[in-house]
Structure 1
Amino acid sequence: MVESSFNSDYYEDEGEKKPFIEKIKVATGAISLALTIIIFFSLLSYFFTGSDDQSLIDSGLSFSSLGEESKNWLGVLGSFLSHYLIFVTFGISSFLIVPLLLVIAIRLLFNKKIYSLSRISIFTFFGIIWISSLMGFFLNFFSDNFFLKNYTGGVGYNLSLFLDNLLGFSSFVILLLSLFLFIVFYYDLYSFSLFKSKNKKEESLSDDEFDDIIPDNSLDDEIDGEEIKEEIKEEIEEEIIHDEKVDQNISNNTTEEEDIKLKVEKTVDEKKSSTLSSDV
């Protein structure tokens, strides 16, 4: 039977594609893990070295700036990366990118699902936008605050300006409403047990009061039960004693009957012996 070269080539290609896809997954996971470490330490270093690297940032990213000394823990790359993530874009909420990349890296490298990718992606996107917008809202009222001015981010500040121009002070209400809706849909909340717990406490208190009003008859029931048990024991003991007496009477009667039989037999024997002697 002649084998088809087309089918064999097809299956060989399929076998080669699978290892290649696995290699891509491992490589992507390794890149995600490296980005997780780089972003985390560069953002963390920005809190301590951000002001010292400001002159480097002002000079711009070029070949000449790459030769300059940077105070950031991850060098020039860490200085520019942390500056654009924290100062230019999303502010301190950029730290939420780290757990997202970590989950992706663990999924691709070790094939372990520690959290849903879709859920953590939604959480990261909402958290970045909401936190930066909230900090931008407060920056409008406290423009001289060092923390808000340096760690809000340009995106959050512009979003807060847009909401403030559109809605005014009610933009804060919109932020709270958006947080409430996110919690409801993200955590699948259908009701709140705050009032239910109060009602349960009131019901338990009313039950306790009702129990205090109604006398407790459990002791009386226990006493009645003990008396009934004692009466039953006495009846059983009387029956046992009665049965023993009956047995004794029966045994006495049997012994008397046996004695009578013996006496009768003796008399019969005596009479027989007397008749025999008279005949002789």
Structure 2
Amino acid sequence: MNDSIIYALDFDGVVCDSAVETAITGWKAGTTIWKDMPDAVPRAIVEQFREVRPIIETGYEAILIIRLMYLGKSTAAIYANYSAKVQRMLDEIHLSIDDLKKLFGETRDNWIASDRADWIAKNPLYPGVAEKLRRLGQRHLWCVITTKQERFVKEILRANNIELADERIFGMDRKLSKPEVLKGLKAQHPGQPIYFIEDRLPALDGVQKHPELADVKLFLALWGYNLAADHAVAAGQAIVLQQLDTFLSDSLGVV
């Protein structure tokens, strides 16, 4: 595969539409912190969560966002001074980010243990993506670069009969930023083009801050968790606005 392209794919919002599962996991975890929250997550909150999903970088944030929604905060209110809101809530509950990451992961583990089929069903792949990845693997090398914990990526890929070696799943467990992973791929595969497909504009902006990654081709996955405002900003940068049907049609360079 010396002439192949290295496809570096974000997971949530590119491969997997995990918004509903993330909302429910956030709610389940939240009920262990705030005892006034009932066991069942209201449908309206799950629906509102999709509107706020683009602001989330790492899954644990869903716990805090879900709490804000339960307290009646609007989508606009959550977006306003988001970082300050997160810090204030962490101070109030006396938990660290690492505590919340652990709680979020354990909540998922418990859900999988009690009803794996239901958990998988709440993590559907985007239409056509499974077939695309199987086809991609026949000629090109692809990997996942995500802030998700790796065991959950493996569960979802396995459930969809998609083979990907463990060493090609770069998740939270590695404690590497996405630019660091891309630099590692460049070192391992010198001279081969790298396509980074990501649905969050801040992640793409982060790559652009590293001059040594200037030759990595950047794609904003418009089918994922982003906003019209993100599209407008990306259009003025060296970022390709990618529609799902174009990605599926092999027009990124796969014959």
| TM bucket, shorter chain | under 0.3
TM-score (norm 1): 0.18
TM-score calculated relative to the size of structure 2: 0.19
Bigger Cα Rg: 1
Answer 1 or 2: which has greater strand percent: 2
Task: Give the helix-richer structure, 1 or 2.
Answer: 1
